[in-house]
Structure 1
Amino acid sequence: MSFTPPHAKICGLSTPEALDWAIDAGADGIGLVHFPKSPRHVPLEALPALAAHARGRAAVVLLTVDADDALLDALVAAAAPDILQLHGRETPERVAAVRARHGRPVMKALGIGTADDLAAAGAFESVADLLLFDAKPPKDATRPGGLGVPFDWSLLGSHRGATPFLLSGGLTPTNVADAIAAVRPAGVDVSSGVESAPGVKDGALIRAFMAAVEAGRRAAGGEGETR
């Protein structure tokens, strides 16, 4: 399965207005989160309208956390996402099973805190269409993901995997251009870095973030997509 990963994804969008802010600013991927513990949670019944609002304007990415088959079936039927983002403790075998069951690209999020975490990503190379390298959450965290904190980008200096990856974790309008220059990912993913409060997207911050992404891509050679 071949597809072009989004070069900039705004995740955790939950209103039509926020979707418009992201897409109008140039994001080519939008993330809808279905995970009740998240302040960005989108209920099942709200997914169809939000996905339809973005469809054809940006890639619709559906984020779930350790969802079972029954829940995934219902979510995919509701949102018809372009990409499934698995953001929990899914094993390579689970990623492969989800990809085969739903017949659409799968992005696997992996928390990176040490070189060993990055080495473990190799197990997902043959089963995921796209990887997302995020900051590893604290051990006592109740939610996955970087929770607004970046990780040591230098850990990615030796990464030479064949699967394209997005960079996430603590990205903001002030550091994303540096992140692109340092890491040269296939794309970047932001959520809390463009919010005025947890789960509340800010249109001005989204526009500033996307402007910084474009500046970083130009500085990196036009596309910022080198791996």
Structure 2
Amino acid sequence: MTFSPAPGVRGVKICGLTEEAGFDACVTHGADWVGFVFFERSPRYVTPAQARALSARHVGGPARVGLFVYPDDDTLARALDIVPLDVLQIYASFERATEVHARFGVPVWLSQPVSTGADLPTTRRAGVERLLIEPKPPTTATRPGGNAQQLDWSLMQGWAPPFPWMLAGGLNPDNVVEAVIVTGAPAVDVSSGVESAPGIKSPRAIADFIHKARSVTFSA
């Protein structure tokens, strides 16, 4: 099943939910997706049981996205047994993403770190529903994403996306309007940019980000 906003409405994903106030703000202000990070090195790490408890606070609302870093099948199966997830977002190869979709039958999003225009995919691959375009991490990073780096948005100019896609990396309420104007991104993903402390979301910043992200219209 595909989870997408209505045509012409910019999608918003709030990632790295760890606590009740942040989750509730996503529901109240109409986020399209909420993300749970199942990667222990992240300050936003939650267990599947913790994600289940947060998700159970509201029936319906944002689609639930589980973020995994190079996961094996057992890791994915254990998580799905505990918490219902609408989307699996993974750091892996296109080939692995296809395997995951075939194995679990859940929509798969592939995180695609880029540093130059040559890194942007130009052909469609089976099994991947959406790409998340974000900056490649520094060589000293301990995780592949969520490092609050801002991508060079000009890389997207002239790119013909072969997939539905989402812009991530260094976004916040102060720069999201410029980001979507420059890139034309149909959806945006934010984590640390709406936090009051690592892993702790600010309900006010969530509301501000969602409002500003949707304030610029685009053609779907």
Q: Which runs of 5+ in 1 are unaligned?
A: none
Q: TM-score, normalised by structure 2?
A: 0.91
The CA distance in 2 between the partners of 1:41 and 1:203, in whole Å, is 19
For the 8 Å contact 2:94–2:110, the answer to whether it is kept is no
In structure 2, the residue matched to 1:36 is 40
Report the identity percentage: 38
In structure 2, the residue matched to 1:79 is 83
Point out 4+ residue stretches in structure 1 off by more than 6 angstroms.
none
In structure 2, the residue matched to 1:159 is 159
In structure 2, the residue matched to 1:174 is 174
Letter in 2 for 1:69: D
The CA distance in 2 between the partners of 1:205 and 1:214, in whole Å, is 14
Alpha-carbon distance change, 28 to 3 in structure 1, aligned in 2, over 3 angstroms = closer
* Larger relative contact order, structure 1 or 2 (CA cutoff 8 Å, min sep 6): 2
For the 8 Å contact 1:136–1:146, the answer to whether it is kept is no
The CA distance in 2 between the partners of 1:225 and 1:136, in whole Å, is 28
Aligned length: 216
In structure 2, the residue matched to 1:143 is 143
Instruction: Tell me which protein shows more helix as a share of its residues.
Output: 1
Letter in 2 for 1:49: A
- Over the aligned positions, Cα root-mean-square deviation in angstroms equals 1.7
Shift of 1:122: 3.8
Query: Is 2:30 aligned against 1:26?
Result: yes
For the 8 Å contact 1:7–1:186, the answer to whether it is kept is yes
Letter in 2 for 1:17: A
Q: Which runs of 5+ in 2 are unaligned?
A: none
Q: Secondary structure in 2 aligned to 1:133?
A: strand
Alpha-carbon distance change, 146 to 31 in structure 1, aligned in 2, over 3 angstroms = closer
The CA distance in 2 between the partners of 1:181 and 1:139, in whole Å, is 30
The CA distance in 2 between the partners of 1:34 and 1:173, in whole Å, is 25
Query: Is 2:52 aligned against 1:48?
Result: yes
For the 8 Å contact 1:62–1:79, the answer to whether it is kept is no
For the 8 Å contact 1:129–1:163, the answer to whether it is kept is yes
Q: Secondary structure in 1 aligned to 2:31?
A: coil
